[in-house]
Amino acid sequence: MCELLGMSANVPTDICFSFTGLVQRGGVTGPHVDGWGITFYEGRGCRSFKDPQPSCESKVAELVKAFPIKSEAVIGHIRQANRGQVSLENTHPFTRELWGQNWTYAHNGQLSGYKKLDTGWYRPVGDTDSELAFCWILEQLRQKYPRKPGNMAAAFKFIASLGRQLRELGVFNMLLSNGEYVMAFCSTNLHWITRRAPFGEAKLMDADVTIDFKKETTPNDVVTMIATQPLTSNEQWHKIEPGDYVLFKHGELVIC
């Protein structure tokens, strides 16, 4: 299956270190060779980089690794295709507008019977179960909340209930963000770690790279990373329980 990568931070932060580890799983240390993508939020806008080529061979991935794009919310994905052909339109993450915000989503898993889902206002561009499920989630949100809700935590709790419905159709691990919040819903495997002062060193599992975060941060920085499997070998990651979710805002855990 695919692998997910997410970040929530209280200050604009680059994801070069974690992304360096993830891209190795796209053909070197892992079998996820059917494309990759990553979306960075900047204020109300977002910029996405996608490539249907393996991440370990992608010149675009080399650019992202080398260029320290700073963001407070990031959604990334490397793909091992099971529904839909290998193509740019089927490459995660997917982004749509809701309540005047860019919502970005990436999925790891495989669903059955998903074509029965009514996506209403939203239409998938590609032919994956993942994108169709995203359109269905947004349509359910649009119907329940015609306007942006005042209590966003309650809205994400509702999204978690939708995730549990989708989990009944198969494996549904998901990352979702509107640029302010980053949500992770777990069906089988998702892990997270929050880094804050006192910062230390971290060593990637998939590449011979070590970073001393103390030299790259300030004492006030809070950065949470989310990944399908832990990316570092010398840190304690938290596993999300199947059927549960976590929600982060500016790096801090809001609901678990």
* Tens-place pLDDT, residues 58-79: 999 999 988 889 999 999 999 8
Write down the mean pLDDT value for the chain.
94
Q: What is the percent of the chain with per-residue pLDDT over 90, rounded to a whole number? A: 84
The CA distances from residue 256 to 56, 187, 244, in Å, are: 33, 14, 7
Catalytic residue among 2, 46, 56, 135: 2
Partners of 74 in beta bridges: 7, 40
186 is annotated as an active-site residue: no
Residues present in the chain in total: 256
Q: Residues 167-210: pLDDT tens digits?
A: 999 999 999 999 999 999 999 999 999 999 999 999 999 999 99
Average pLDDT of the residues in 52-63: 91
**Which backbone phi and psi does 65 adopt, to 5 degrees?**
-65, -35
pLDDT at 81 over 80: no
CB within 8 Å of 146: residues ≥ 6 apart: none
pLDDT at 37 over 90: yes
> What pTM was computed for the model?
0.95
Structural domains in the chain? 3-255 (3.60.20.10)
Nearest CA-CA partner of 125 in 117, 116, 134: 134
pLDDT at 256 over 60: no
